[in-house]
Chain A
Amino acid sequence: MADEKRLMKGNEAMGEAAVRAGCDAYFGYPITPQNELTAYMAKHMLDHKRVFIQAESEVSAINMVYGAAATGARSMTSSSSPGISLKQEGISYACGADVPIVVINVARSGPGLGGISPAQGDYFQSTRGGGHGDYFHIVLAPKSVQEAADLTFEAFDLADEWRMPAMVLADGMIGQMMEGVVLPQPKDPATRVAKPWASGNRPAGRPVNHVDSTHLVPEEFEQANIARYKRYDEMKKTLVRYEEQHVEDADLILAAYGTSARVCLGAMQMARKLGLKVGLFRPITLWPFPEKRLGELAGKRFLTVEMSMGQMVEDVRLHTRGKSEVSFYGRCGGMIPTEEDVLAEIRRILKK
């Protein structure tokens, strides 16, 4: 039986979705604007007799996540931008050792301590492998509380399936706002992906398992990286997700993700009422990025809207391969563009 719609804060909805996905262990450290998520996990993980630890730092929390996940458990952490910077060490190790973990970033404004208001300045960090070395990981960008819950739930499966970290890149707006949400049904543990590579519970006859990112022989390491990149290619074929509205007849396509895509949807509807042929392209997987679809749309005019000084716009330019004129409109420092702001920009570009 499906759950009824409930009114929930984004942070709490993501927490409940993680509990229902079968998260076995949560490790976190307080930071605004995601504190309700950690508090939610404290209560509900302990109520379910699962593991919850308030760590001494984000550095420690992510390595606890890594340790727990190395035993095959479903393990996660959540934080916000400055804390996510500290987690990059552990994320790089998890990528290097092919350990599935879930990381939620309820992003705020930066650089530095910045502010606690919503922002999208962590796009580069999230989609380029924010730590050291050659790697990428899954990045999912929700635009609503419902999608935040759904993507958090799914992140556990995707991480397990592809043996890598899955990050949910939300922002302070999505974390803090309340909306109606229908939560996913609890995951049946029997349907989890098997993890024969995990450490612990070694049956007689199984060779030892070493969960390890160390590679001191260059020839072997190169081969391991090449194999990992083959997996990335596979993901680019099968995992890409995006939403489109009216792109086919559009004279101008708004490209945006998360909160700014929501604003763009409103602006698009206002523009359509004025008779302007405006569409919307919203990547849901920021990595793998919908590069192929953008290539198909190359030639159309784009306006990328972000809550940053312009980060995803570089990917839009890259994958339209110089065939599109790509403009940018952004607010930053915790400012959120309004539908009217975006409409004004649309009219300026279309000279209407």
Chain B
Amino acid sequence: MELIYGHPKSLKPIQTKYCPGCGHGVIHRLITEVIDELGMQQKSVILNPVGCSIWASIYFDFDSVQVPHGRTPAGATGVKRMLPDHLVICYQGDGDLAAIGTAEAVHAANRGEKFTTIFVNNAIYGMTGGQMAPTTLVGQKATTAPYGRDPVEAGMGYPIRVLEMFATLEGTRYLARGAVNNAANTRKTKQYIKKAFEAQLRGEGSTMVEILSQCPTNWAMDPVESVEWVESDMIPFYKLGEIKDELQGSAVKEAAK
């Protein structure tokens, strides 16, 4: 009998350390499914960030390089420049990408570095216990925004829409935003990841998939409430879809239509 759905080869068959309802585990699964589909297990390297997803060495059955908090795109630049025929994945949280590592992320994208960033936006610092992230919504509570994020009185700034900002950079070729709060969004997100990985393997330039992800623990919600909150609060602010698609591959497809 043909097996049509099973555990991805690139993902080790172990239980994750993630909290119930966390998005990271689902995202790991999507990445590894696509790696398997592309037959890239032996030629993939993931740069795992400092954050809840630090555990690449436990989960992934392909090589990895772990870098300091926020330096993920710099490390990925070094890896991809030396291994141009590999699939290089720069996995980042919102604190990692949009706070401490903003400079690295912007400049790697601007240089058109040919790796793919998987940007996990859970609107919070997960690992350190629920501090405000650059992507925390206005009014959303965090341990360091106990009365909710207040951009005006408390001067806490506004949530950053990373993809819209990166869309202005000429080095970026493909920017898409998905979510893993329900089956339909999860399937769509997998398509974005696959499109980005394929573009990377064609050497097309900077690609990034932002994924809205649940952190029930630090949102003080149960898993069901958290997937609903992504729908009710996050998606209205962080619009899903392909924010920028300047891939040659896509242009060819368009022309064929």
Contact = CB atoms under 8 A, between A and B. Distances in A.
A213 B66 contact: yes
A51 B82 contact: yes
A53 B77 CA distance: 10
B78 A25 contact: yes
Interface stretch (B57-65, B169-177, B206-214): B57-65
B175 to A, nearest CB: 20
Contacts of B57: 208, 210, 212, 214
Given A70-B79, A199-B64, A199-B65, A55 B45 contact: no
B67 A202 contact: no
Interface stretch (A59-67, A286-294, A331-339): A59-67
Contacts of B42: 202-204
Nearest to B80: A67
Contacts of B77: 53, 64, 67
A342 interface: no
B165 to A, nearest CB: 16
B54 A214 contact: yes
B81 interface: yes
Contacts, number: 127
B67 A93 contact: yes
A60 B76 CA distance: 11
Give 10 closest A-B pairs by Cβ, nearest first. Answer: A67-B78, A68-B78, A63-B74, A67-B75, A63-B71, A210-B57, A199-B63, A56-B107, A64-B78, A212-B66
Interface in B68-122: 68, 71, 74-79, 81-83, 86, 103-104, 106-107, 111
A315 interface: no
Contacts of B234: none
Interface string A57-92: 101110111111111110100000000000001100
A51 B74 contact: no
Given A25-B78, A67-B75, A200-B83, 4 more contacts: A67-B74, A70-B79, A97-B66, A200-B79
A27 B45 contact: no
Contacts of B65: 66-67, 70-71, 199, 210-212
Contacts of B187: none
A67 B79 contact: yes
A24 interface: yes
B81 A90 contact: no
A68 B79 contact: yes
A209 interface: yes
B74 A209 contact: no
A51 B66 contact: no
Contacts of B54: 214
Contacts of B45: 71, 199-200
A208 B63 contact: yes
Nearest to A73: B82
A200 B86 contact: yes
A138 to B, nearest CB: 21
Given A56-B103, A203-B42, A75 B78 contact: yes
26 contacts: A56-B103, A57-B103, A59-B74, A59-B104, A60-B107, A63-B68, A63-B75, A66-B75, A67-B65, A67-B78, A70-B65, A89-B68, A89-B71, A90-B71, A93-B68, A199-B64, A200-B83, A200-B86, A201-B83, A208-B57, A208-B63, A210-B56, A210-B64, A211-B66, A212-B64, A214-B54
B202 interface: no
Interface in A216-270: none
Contacts of A61: 74
A211 B62 CA distance: 12
B75 A24 contact: no
Interface residues of B, number: 32
Interface of B: 42-43, 45, 47, 54, 56-57, 60-68, 71, 74-79, 81-83, 86, 103-104, 106-107, 111
Interface in A78-129: 89-90, 93, 97
A90 B68 contact: yes
A64 B63 contact: no
Contacts of B78: 25, 27, 63-71, 75
B104 A60 contact: yes
B74 A202 contact: no
Contact of B82 (A57, A68, A209): A68
A61 B77 CA distance: 10
A204 B60 CA distance: 16
A202 B103 CA distance: 31
Given A60-B104, A66-B67, A202-B63, A55 B74 contact: yes
Given A25-B81, A65-B78, A67-B47, A60 B63 contact: no
Nearest to A59: B71
A200 B56 CA distance: 15
Contact of B67 (A57, A63, A201, A209): A63
A63 B104 contact: yes
A64 B73 CA distance: 8
